[in-house]
Amino acid sequence: MGAESVPSSRGPSAVPDVLAPGLEVVFCGINPGRVSAAAGAHFANSRNDFWRLLHDAGFTPRKYSPEEQFELPRLGIGLTNAAYRTTKGSGDLRRADFAGSAERLHELARELHPRAIAFVGKEAYRGSFGERPELGPQQRALGDVGLFVLPSTSPANAAVPYDERLRWFRSLHEWLVPVDRAAVRALVVDGAGRTLLVQFRDANGQVWWASPGGGVEGGETAEETLRRELLEEVGLVEFELGPEIWTREHVFAWDRRLLRQRERFKLVRVDEHEPAPTVDLAAEWVAGVRWWTLAELEAAPRDQLVPQRLPSLLRDLLANGPPPAAIDVGV
């Protein structure tokens, strides 16, 4: 994994967060129990199955003890809690104990960018977001970060057999391996130097603006994919396909899956074009299409642009033309 262990304590908690940048998964418990608070360690009750499940599901090479919690980031694993107040049991928590939890998790996702956050118990998720989840991957995401709900590992949840808990931990372990997806996009630039972007809006209202394009279907060439996508998304038919200018790879959550998308961007120049989609884009989570000037891009929130460097990349392209070879543009 490569990240160094970065112990941190945010808020008035007797149990410190165990976090680092770029983790594969952050396990989010409900709150510290009295045994964990006394030990200053997550899931410290000897009757809690968390550490055994972590090993049996393949997350750790051996069974770790709570005292070894700061070794976990070396394995790509972090720990936090939805509520920070110590109680005898999670049933003693009040709604106020979860105040700010969703915002804190959003901040964690934005700053540290783990691949996913796994809630250890439905109440950890419900307390944070105010909705009842089913076990497994969630439709909600925090930016690119996926969310997954596990059964509680507490001894108070003894009605759920160990084998059933293990099944869900193993399911998480498998789900964390992203599905590879090849995609191609077109940077469409008109005679006024504007670029054409489509707006993606997920089920929770998160918004991104990206160049038109999409996943390569079986047997398609990159050009065939682009011509199909440009026809469907913006109604563009007659155009000359230019050179490949950028590449991009990133992992993100979408529709309850984790995807590793490898994108290629090709340049398409047009004199002018009025966007007119030819299919119902709602099924693709597309909520709008419009032209953007460079000034508008420079004023837009960076986390809503794909790639986030789009304003500077477009500025360089307009000033200097296509690069001699495709460049990696990052996230």
pLDDT in tens, 160-213: 999 999 999 999 999 999 999 999 999 999 999 999 999 988 877 888 999 999
Q: How does residue 93 score in pLDDT terms, banded at 50, 70 and 90?
A: confident
Cα angle, residue 203 at apex, residues 235 and 127 outer, rounded to 5°: 165
Among 36-45, 89-98, 176-185, the least confident range: 89-98
Could you give the CA distance from residue 237 to residue 314 in angstroms, rounded to a whole number?
A: 23
Whole-number average pLDDT of the chain = 92
Q: Is the pLDDT of residue 7 over 60?
A: no
Please determine, for residue 242, whether its predicted confidence score (pLDDT) is greater than 80: yes
Mean per-residue pLDDT, 231-257: 93
CB 16 within 8 A of CB 9: yes
pLDDT of 8 above 70: no
Average pLDDT over residues 293-298: 97
> Among residues of the chain, what percentage have pLDDT more than 90?
79
Contacts of residue 259, Cβ cutoff 8 Å, sequence gap at least 6: 178, 179, 180, 181, 251, 252, 253
Please tell me the predicted confidence (pLDDT) of residue 3: 42
One DSSP character per residue, 84-143 reads: -S-BSSGGG--GGGGTTHHHHHHHHHHHH--SEEEEESHHHHHHHHSSPPPSEEEEEEET
pLDDT digits (tens, 9 = 90+) for 110-169: 999 999 999 999 999 999 999 999 999 999 999 999 999 999 999 888 889 999 999 999
Model confidence at 285, pLDDT cuts 50, 70, 90, reads confident
pLDDT, residue 34, reads: 92
pLDDT at 12: 67
* pLDDT for the residue 297: 97
